[in-house]
Structure 1
Amino acid sequence: MPTSVDDNPPRPHKMKSQENFHTREEIDQLVEEIYRALETTEERLDGRCDDIYFPMDLSISALTSKIEAMQGELVEIQSYITRRPEASS
C-alpha cells in the first residue's frame, strides 16, 4: 500500500555549520564584486549596441535626407507640369 504524504513528516532544517556563514565585511565585498561585474557587463553591452546602432542611425539619417530631397524635386516637377502651356489647354 502506498504511503501517504502525511505519513512522512517534513525533516527539520539542519543548521549550517559555522564555516558557511560570512562576516558582514565578506558579504559587502561579495556584493561589491557583483556590482562591479554588472557594471562591466553593462559597459560591454553598451559598446556593442553602439557599434550596431550608430552606423544604422547614420544610414537612416542619410536615407531620410535623400527622401526629403527627392520629395522637393517631385514638388518642383509637379509645379512645372501644372505651369506648362499644354497643361492649361
Structure 2
Amino acid sequence: MMSQPDFHTRAEIDQLVEEIYRTLETTEERIDRRCDDIYFSMDLSISVLNSKIEAIQGELVEIQSYIARRPEASASIDRRNNKSTDILRQTSVDDATNRGRLVPKLTSNMSDTHN
C-alpha cells in the first residue's frame, strides 16, 4: 500500500489557516462573553452590597442621633433606673457562702461508728 504524499496546495493551506483563525475567534468570543457574564454579575453584586452598606450606615447614624437627643437618655438598660449597672457591688458566690465554700465542711469523729 502506498502512502499519500505529505504536501498540500497553497489553497488548502490557506483554507486550513482560515478555519483555525475562525475557530480561535469563536473560542475567544465565547471566553470573553463568559468572563463578562462572571465579571458583570459580580460587579453588580458588589454594587448592591455597597448600596446596602451605605443605607445601613445612614440608618445607624439616625439611630445614634435619636438616642443622643432623647431627654430620657441614660446609660442604664432599664429606663427607670438611671444608675449604671456597675455602681452597686454585686455579692459574689464566695462571699455569700461559708467563707468561699459552696457546701459547708462538716467534721465528724470517725472513731464513733458504733452508735
TM-score range, shorter chain: 0.5 to 0.7
Give the AA of the match of 2:35. C
Q: Which amino acid aligns with 2:25?
A: E
How far apart are residue 56 of structure 1 and its match? 3.8
> Who is 1:75 aligned against?
61
Q: Which has the larger radius of gyration?
A: 2
Q: What amino acid sits opposite 1:84 in the alignment?
A: R
Whichever residue aligns with residue 58 of structure 1, its letter is L
- Whole-angstrom CA distance in 2 between matches of 1:33 and 1:73: 60
* Residue of structure 2 in register with 1:22 after alignment: 8
Match of residue 40, structure 2, among 54, 69, 85 = 54
What TM-score, normalized by structure 2, do the two folds share? 0.46
Residue 32 of structure 1 aligns with which residue? 18
Q: Report the count of equivalent residues.
A: 73
Q: Deviations over 1:14-60 (max 9, x none)?
A: xxx99212334332322221110011112222333344443443333
Where structure 1 has 5 or more consecutive residues not aligned to the other structure, the ranges are 1-16
Letter in 2 for 1:82: A
Residue equivalent to 2:51: 65
Please tell me the residue identity of whatever aligns with 2:24: L
Q: C-alpha distance in 2, partners of 1:84/1:24?
A: 89
User: How many percent identity over aligned positions?
Assistant: 85
Q: CA deviation at 1:72?
A: 0.8
Structure 2: segments with no counterpart, 5+ residues: 75-115
How much has 1:86 moved relative to structure 2? 4.2
Provide the TM-score with structure 1 as the length reference. Answer: 0.56
